[in-house]
Structures are given as C-alpha cells and as structure tokens.
Structure 1
Amino acid sequence: MVGHAPARDQDDGPLADCPDSALVPPGHEPHCPVDITIATLGGRWTPLVLREFLRRGQATYSELSAALPALSDKVLSDRLAQLTSAGVIERHRTPGWPPRVRYLLTSQGRALEPVVRSMWEWGTARRDALS
C-alpha cells in the first residue's frame, strides 16, 4: 500500500514487550505500557488539562476553568481527581479562610510532556493535511 510503513515482525522493537496476555479488561490495572498511558490520559479533556499544567507547572481550579471554558465543572473536577490519583498532579490545600487549593505538576506529570508534544505535532500535521 502506498503511504504505509512496511510490515514489521511482531517481535521487533520497543512495542514488542506488550503481548496479548498483558491486555486486561476495563476496570483492571493495565500491564501494557501503552494501555497504562491511555488509562492515565483517558477521557475527552484529560490531555488538554495536562497541557495546561505543562504550560504553567501549577494552577488553581479557577485558572484551569478560565483556560478551558468549554469544560464543565463536573468534568474538570473529575479530570483533576483522575490526574491526582494517577500521580500526574498533586493537590495542595493552604490552611486559612477561605481555604485555597493549588494543583502542582509532579515529576511523573512532567515526564508526559513528550507524549503531549507528540500529540500536538501529529494533530498539527493532520489539521494541515485536511485543510
């Protein structure tokens, strides 16, 4: 086929260490590295929330809400909980009244920068090819 990479031996390269036996049904802890990444970044808005953290390093709920105005409060709260649970961001609450909460990108979150950058580059090329 024109425009497609040549077929590779299934046992070649860095993607070979994920046999079918590593794939698990939804609701179970993934073992395949690609599946682990998808589980961490899963959800329509999750990569965009992560993008904001990669740009800022830290943010308040209000800052994220302003940066992603199409995102509902419920979905933003869910995505922050998801990224916190995955160890991508940390939630820090400052004592006092009113209490203030700030979310900070962790080293694991920062390690996702090449993934998000690759998504940006692929999406840019795709958008340009379609226009």
Structure 2
Amino acid sequence: MARAPRSGPYVCGIDAALDVVSGKWKGLILWELHAHRVRRFAELRRGLPGVSEKMLTQHLRELEEDGLVHREVHAEVPPRVEYSLTEDGRSLNRALAPLGDWGTERVRREGLATATLPEDVA
C-alpha cells in the first residue's frame, strides 16, 4: 500500500528530511542496515526488538519508495529477499549521525534507560 501523497509543499529542508524518516522504526531500520550492510527480513526483525512484522513491512516499503532502501529478490526456492541501503540511504545516515551523537549525549547526561541488544545485533 503506497503512502498518501503529501498535502502541501515542504516548509524547509528539515521538513523534507523528517518526512522520509518519520515513524518510530525508520531511523532504526536505517541504522541496522548501516551497521550490517545487507539484512534479510528476519534479521532486521531480530535487530529491532518490538517491531511488528506489519510495521517493518510497511516501513521497508516506504523507505524503498523513497529511494533509501534497495530490496533484492534472489531467484531461489524458497525465495531469499535482502535489504540494503542505497547511496541516498547512506548519505541520509551520514546526515543523521550528528543527531545520533546528540541523542547519545542526552541519554548519558540524563541517565536515561537504553535497550540491551544481543551481541550479534549490537
């Protein structure tokens, strides 16, 4: 299911950028693909504790539509589907890095809780 088209023009660059990463899981999907280069659906789901299959599917489709994620289907039985970042996805991750640094510092400063991920995910 395609996303509804935006109802009006972008106000600024931040508006346009947040439009493609809005949603709880999109930034984390980009982070997971950056960390591991190529991931299958089940690997992504394991790397994002709490994401539902439906939400992961929806966000992957939107990221693909926005040109940030590449979906490759291998002609095998059973079919193997792999996800990776496009050049636009990699450049967005570079742009988001300072925001991540800010968030890490905020977590440290405020003593906020963080998730503990399994070693093969972290």
Q: Does the alignment reach a TM-score above 0.5?
A: yes
CA distance in 1, matches of 2:108, 2:83: 34
Instruction: State which of 19, 27, 34 in structure 2 corresponds to 1:47.
Output: 27
1:83 paired to 2:63: yes
Amino acid at match of 1:44: K
Deviations 1:77-122 (A, max 9, x none): 1110111011001111111211111112100001012233112211
Q: Which residue of structure 2 aligns with residue 20 of structure 1?
A: none
Question: What displacement does 1:69 show?
Answer: 2.2
Return 30-39 or 97-106, whichever deviates more: 30-39
Q: Which blocks of at least 5 consecutive residues in structure 2 are unaligned? A: 112-122
Amino acid at match of 1:126: R
Q: 1:1-131 residue pairs with structure 2 within 5 A?
A: 27-28=6-7, 30-31=9-10, 32-131=12-111
Amino acid at match of 2:95: V
Query: Percent same amino acid among aligned pairs?
Result: 32
Deviations 1:61-80 (A, max 9, x none): 01101111211111111110
Alignment size in residue pairs = 106
Helix, strand or coil: the match of 1:122?
Answer: helix
Tell me how large the CA RMSD over aligned residues is: 1.6
Looking at CA atoms only, which structure, 1 or 2, has the larger radius of gyration? 1
CA distance in 1, matches of 2:60, 2:97: 20
CA distance in 1, matches of 2:28, 2:8: 24
Amino acid at match of 2:75: P
CA distance in 1, matches of 2:16, 2:36: 25
Amino acid at match of 1:89: V
Q: Which blocks of at least 5 consecutive residues in structure 1 are unaligned? A: 1-25
CA distance in 1, matches of 2:39, 2:89: 14
Using structure 1 for the length normalisation, give the TM-score: 0.74
Q: Is the 8 A contact 1:54 1:113 kept in 2?
A: yes
